[in-house]
Structure 1
Amino acid sequence: MILKGSQRGGGQDLAAHLMRTDDNEHVRVHELREFASDNLRGAFKEAEAISRGTKCRQYLFSLSFSPPESARVSEAEFVKAIDEAEKRLGLDGQPRAIVFHEKEGRLHAHGVWSRIDAASMTAVPLPYFKNKLNALSRDLYLDNGWDMPRGIAQAGMRDPLNFTLAEWQQAKRQGQDPRWLKAAVQSSWRASDSGPAFSGALEEHGCFLAKGDRRGHVVIDHDGEVHSLSRVLGIKTNDVKARLGDGEALQSIDAIRKKLGERMTPALKRHVTESREKFGKASALLGDAKAEMTLRHRDGRGKLEQDQKCAWDAETKVRTARLPKGLSGIWHRITGKYQQVRAQNETEAKASRERQAEERQRLVDRQREERARLQVMFKELRKRQAEELLELRRELGRFFKFSRGLDPGPTQRREMSVGLRLER
């Protein structure tokens, strides 16, 4: 589990960030401990007000908990990890807030502590907190059997390729089927009876006839690759010359490549635009599905929360009615029955809280499974887009080089990059 912590002020900005529902699909304040307020803004305002009695300006400690993408971590397991972090950092008993976020089907948590000890009016020191968090992170990876990133397993071994877009940039260029070129050249050969006719037929397939350096007549395909004409046709070189002549009047390979670059570069730019439009439409459809799913899931959680609140209130009334009042209450205290009933009520209340937590966890797990299936579709779309745009980038580079007779300079590189960025 990746842990990122920082000492900070600006409680109201942090509260606004943690409660953002535009960036997160689900946000839930799980706990506000030792705060009088029942909301995050009010809680952090309390911490700020107390800090005014000290010289401390970074009166909060904020810590995020992010498990591996493939891991399924329950809220209870997050709270256990937060408790352990609190213990190791020396923040035991300090006012604390816990907020859960869900984004792209993944659950992560934020813990925020007030550093101000109200009794002594001093800030809790946090020496070497990064080292302590790194040690805790290693322990969490080992305890859960997760694959540990190199940067956590050993300091200084961070993988330089471990970036968000890395999995999108693993596209491999797919080779052209050689049978396509052979069929196109052979059909053009059969349909023509002269050099000009054959050259025109080839150009209809995106190929060009040129004069080779040592191989006589050659064919240049739409990728700029050079092929021996006699080899593609499967006939002798003399038979080719008998129909087409010696080829001295044909353009050279470099001249044809330049011509090809001038023709293909505008077409490839058009393909870039078409690619972006295609993926934009597909992404919009998935985005609409995501928005609908998010609203439906929020409604489901809201309904469960309301039902649980009503059930809790009803159960509380039943438990309260068991405790006698007046003279009967005094008698129950004397006989010890009051304590028995109170212990029973506390046991039932604890069981009720655990039952409701399990109900909420089951609902969240079902919704996350549904969201994960949609996320797979997002990833597949992004991967296809990455592959297509990378291929177009390579093609643009190749044809810029052909059309200018040299490698593209800075201006051309900027031109090549237009429209080739991945869209989230």
Structure 2
Amino acid sequence: MILRVDIRGNGAQLSNYLMALGDNSQVEILEIDGRETSDLDYLYQTIISMELNSELTKTDKAFFHAQINPAYGEDKAMTREDWYLAADILAKGTGYENQRRVITLHTKKGRTHAHVVWERYNHETGKMIDNKNSKYKADATRSIMEQALGHKQTPYRNPHRFDLKQAATELWNKTTTGAEFIKEARKAGYMVAAGTGNRPFMIVDGTGRAFDLVRQLDGVRTKEVRARLRHEPLITDKQAIELMREQSSKSGKTEQQKQEQKPSATNIAKDFADNRSDGTKEDAQVTNQRKFDQVFEEFKAASKEATKPAEPDKTEQERKQEAAQQFAENKSKTVNQPTPQELERQKIVAEQERIKQRSLQRKRHR
């Protein structure tokens, strides 16, 4: 399970984000201030009222926003009561118990996660709930949440973290450009992505866990990483996490499943070979038939030409008459068509005529 928590403001934008379809295939309101059935207008009013209460203090961060993202497959078994229980456990661990809240469910690419927004303003004390160490507190509630929901326990630390650090450092040292480093990291099973805030660059491992890239590089400073990667196009760490998890789930077939698929694959290959051999025989028959048809047509054409009656020989007088007629026709065409010399002479005469006309016009104006 992944938990993301942070404080934020801008209630209007938050309301739109909670209900925007965007890349989501489905958006559902689970609870608004204790009401299970409500609509968008009431959600907007509740969020804005939380933001107005924050004006009684000096902060503009009116909301504590959390994302509860169960592991693949475990989200499908979550009921409404399970989502409520997860939100209650997180609220108790972070100090937001009994605070007004809004819960929405987003389904994206067949996977569901929850957004929970709590009001930070405490109406009893008139102060904002302290956000100190909220991320560590939320992380501590994760194991409690997973145990209560019957989910698989997420390891507190990645057992392969040392391998990641060693591999990332070696790849960094053996490459000279950002493009080379990104390419070599991808070959090694990692993905370099863009982060936010103090973590501008992230690296995601094969299990879909993201780490600060700078911390995984021994002896390398943030400005060096920024200088090498600042011009490289990078996807966000969220997108990289989704891609790596999808890849991991697709390649997570057991050896038994692969063995079960082998007989069917063998049968398919055998059927393909049989069909191919049958098709080869049929193709040979078709080719032979086409060759036979072609030879037969050529034979018929040759026979027809051979049996065609010969034209009678023309007399000497007839040949002279045809030659004279052809000469007369050619001569008429030649007479009607001016020669190149004639065309050139006509152009010169026409140009002289135009010069003469211009001279006459000038004399008249004078």
TM-score by length of structure 1 reads 0.37
Q: Provide TM-score, normalisation by structure 2.
A: 0.42
Which of 1 and 2 has higher RCO (CA within 8 Å, sep 6+)? 1
Larger Rg belongs to: 2
